[in-house]
Amino acid sequence: MANENMMNVQTRLSATSSSARSGNRLFWKRVWAFRHYYLLALPGILYFIIFHYIPMAGIVIAFKDISPFGGIQGIIEAPWVGVQHFERFFRSIFFWDVVQNTLIISGLKILFGFPAPIIFALMLNEVVYSPLKRLVQTISYLPHFISWVVVTGLISALFGTSGGLVTEFLNNTTGDNWSFLTNSDYFVGLLVSSHVWKTIGWSSIIYLAAMSSIDPHLYEAATIDGASRLQMARHITLPSIAFVIVILFIFDIGNLLEAGFEQILLLYSPAVYGVSDIIDTYVYREGLLGLEYSFAAAVGLFRGVMSLLLILGANALARRLGQTGIW
């Protein structure tokens, strides 16, 4: 009996080994069959490996007290300080303010900036005159290619405290002294509206691409049934692109702690720190300008971990609600 059991075990192990070898051969055969697609993906893979994964070794800086002039040797020889830099950030009198400002600004950008390209794509999808549709698309894409340096220059020319076109018009019309860039009541609104203006056209591309794959027979059947264009958009178009909406929304939730560093850095001033000082700008002032690289790395690691938790939670919630998540 013992010999028979041993033979059965050996037979199963041999079958498993043979199956594994067969699976490996099949895997490499499929890789070779689709080698051209993998070659196309290779530049993107190398980009992420070189600029995103290899630099992750620098996480060690967050747990050391390094000198900014020590180089790689200084990083290796720097003393370990554990979570001292994290504690410094959490105990800072600015911690709750910058976290709150980050969540408010980022939340408003999602609230207004996320549905805007969906609505724009739905409206553009209803345009039947092709030349007009292409013209509107081209004009809406242009702001994406304008850097925030130029955009903030335009905002300053329009809403600057002295010499701003809109500011001077309101001053002359109402007799009051208007101030947009130095007034906490208006500054966040300018951030959100300029963000929507810059991203709405480019962000609508993926929705338009998803709409182009919808079976036209669905619209024909709905027309025969007497459905209006609004009803077709609600019951055909939106459900058909729901998976794209969910995936992009998950990505936006993952970026909740990134409120737009470059935009805010170029526009804000001490007068509006109370509503515009976010995690990134605080780290820039305290960590980088102050040559506190370890502190900056610690806060960056904290934000990265929180962003990971947010995207995992959003993905799990989407799958629980029956939607297709990222994985």
* CB burial of residue 22 (10 Å; 0-12, 13-18, 19+): exposed
Residue 16 is predicted with a pLDDT of 54
Residue 67 is predicted with a pLDDT of 80
Cβ distance 200 to 120 under 8 Å?
yes
Measured CA distances, 177 to 48, 169, 185, 275 (Å): 50, 10, 14, 21
215-228 residue pLDDT tens: 888 888 988 888 88
282-321 residue pLDDT tens: 888 888 888 888 888 898 889 888 988 998 888 888 888 7
E strands present in 206-298: none
Task: Average the pLDDT over 247-264 and give the result.
Answer: 89
Give the angle 311-280-74 at the CA atoms, nearest 5°.
100
Q: Is the pTM of this model over 0.75?
A: yes
Q: Which residues contact 17 (CB under 8 A, 6 or more apart)?
A: none
Mean pLDDT, all residues of the chain: 85
70-83 residue pLDDT tens: 777 777 788 888 88
The residue type found at 62 is A
47/235 Cα distance (integer angstroms): 40
Residue 49 is predicted with a pLDDT of 92
